[in-house]
Amino acid sequence: MLFTQEHNEIRRTVRQFVEQEINPNVAQWEADGRFPMRDIFRKMGALGLLGIHKPEKYGGLGLDYSYNLVAAEELGTAWAGGIPLAIGVQTDMCTPAIARFGSDELKREFLAPSITGEAIGCIGVSETGAGSDVAGLKTTARKDGDDYIINGHKMWITNSPQADFICLLANTSDDKPHKNKTLIVVPMNSPGITLSKHLDKLGMRSSETAQVFFDDVRVPQRYRVGAEGTGFMLQMLQFQEERLWGAANTIKALENCVNETINYCRERKTFGQPLIDNQVVHFRLAELQTEIECLRALTYQACELYVAGKDVTNLASMAKLKAGRLGREVTDSCLQYWGGMGFMWDNQVSRAFRDVRLVSIGGGADEIMLGIICKLMGTLPGKKKSPVAAAPAVANAELASQEALK
């Protein structure tokens, strides 16, 4: 990917923002289990960083996705994954469908303030009984006059404790599971919405996560994104940006780990010589850096094709899979060279070890990515009703969704 001066400028701006506004506070925010999201979002909004590839009409910079990818990659220099995650939810998880398929009114009411940082958004897909199996979700939105009445719950919802709106996937009919869903934007101050206490997580400690309950929540039908019954398709498309963002954001987080480990191994001496001088150590770190470059190349390639308007289901799934797998490998290997220091809770590499673990689970687990890739490789066995067939079912649906939108 050839970067322009503008790409480099965005990269520099994000890097500076992370160095000045985020990294000095990370230790405190991790301990608090939250960060001043409104303040950070407003500052990012003022710099144009929350709407890089969103339409200018609604306050975005109107640039193509490659500029956003550069920002996602650079956000990976934050010393805690929780803060980039909260930002990524806003820019690449709860707003892409609104930007592409929402009405003008919806965009003015929810997209525009999320670009300035005045409004915080979250995405409500997963439920306790439906994470990988998105089609199996149970939350309903039944019509009542001009409104929807929503009942159900959403689990593990990042940003929800501070969010102003949720982009919610709910069943709006009794049709087949891939045709009965609709994306609806729901203001979080609507009567009938309650939240669990903050969920206590292994990593991503500074991001806020909760369960959201809907008890006869009334919203106007005009808050629907796109046509009724297209929600599953729109969410699968929205996942493409989520997965590209996730892969890009992981690159620099892993590079940070390798660089910090090199620095540590230069200083730390065992048996009279710096750790880094052991061939097993410097060779291993060189191997990990090579793998990171492979992830970068794959992610950039997926991005280039996405910008060119191509279907990147395969490459985005591969990049997400590779990011998750490599994230576990890099953080585990690096942590080892820190010895006992690597086992300390506040160590930067141990934090990355915990944070990066989410990449293989959230936004479609590794096995779901493998199911999609296998489907496209033509290696999936025919449809079966056994539980093992669940991933192919999701992959089929994701692909069917892409086809239906062409």
Ligand X SMILES: Cc1cc2nc3c(=O)[nH]c(=O)nc-3n(C[C@H](O)[C@H](O)[C@H](O)COP(=O)(O)OP(=O)(O)OC[C@H]3O[C@@H](n4cnc5c(N)ncnc54)[C@H](O)[C@@H]3O)c2cc1C
Q: Give the whole-angstrom CA distance, residue 179 versus residue 398.
A: 12
Q: Give the whole-angstrom CA distance, residue 334 versus residue 328.
A: 10
235 binds ligand X, rule: CB under 6 A = no
Beta-bridge partner residues of 220: 147
User: How far, CA to CA in Å, does 351 sit from each of 89, 254, 266, 348?
Assistant: 20, 12, 21, 5
Our CB check for ligand X shows the closer of 346 and 367 to be 367
| List 46, 286, 294, 361, residue binding ligand X (CB under 6 A) | 361
Q: Give the whole-angstrom CA distance, residue 152 versus residue 76.
A: 34
Residue 242 designated active-site: yes
Our CB check for ligand X shows the closer of 122 and 233 to be 122
390 binds ligand X, rule: CB under 6 A = yes
What is the dihedral sign for C-alpha 393, 90, 222, 63? negative
Our CB check for ligand X shows the closer of 233 and 276 to be 233
| List 10, 141, 157, 253, residue binding ligand X (CB under 6 A) | 157
Q: Give the whole-angstrom CA distance, residue 206 versus residue 82.
A: 5
Nearest residue to 328 via CA among 264, 254, 256: 254
In angstroms, what is the minimal distance from the CB of 12 to ligand X?
Answer: 29
User: How far, CA to CA in Å, does 58 sit from each of 117, 129, 266, 307, 353?
Assistant: 12, 36, 49, 20, 38
| List 132, 162, 259, 402, residue binding ligand X (CB under 6 A) | 132
**Binding segment for ligand X among 27-35, 117-125, 142-150, 326-334 (CB under 6 A)?**
117-125
Binding mask 65-104 for ligand X (x = CB under 6 A): ------------------------x---------------
Nearest residue (beta carbon) to ligand X = 131
Place of tokens 């496209």: 376
Q: Give the whole-angstrom CA distance, residue 153 versus residue 157.
A: 10
Q: Annotated catalytic residue: which of 73, 127, 242, 398?
A: 242
| List 183, 254, 319, 365, residue binding ligand X (CB under 6 A) | 365
| List 77, 95, 172, 209, residue binding ligand X (CB under 6 A) | 209
Site for ligand X, rule CB under 6 A: 89, 122-126, 131-132, 156-158, 201, 204, 209, 358, 361-363, 365, 367, 390-391
> Which residues participate in catalysis according to the annotation?
242
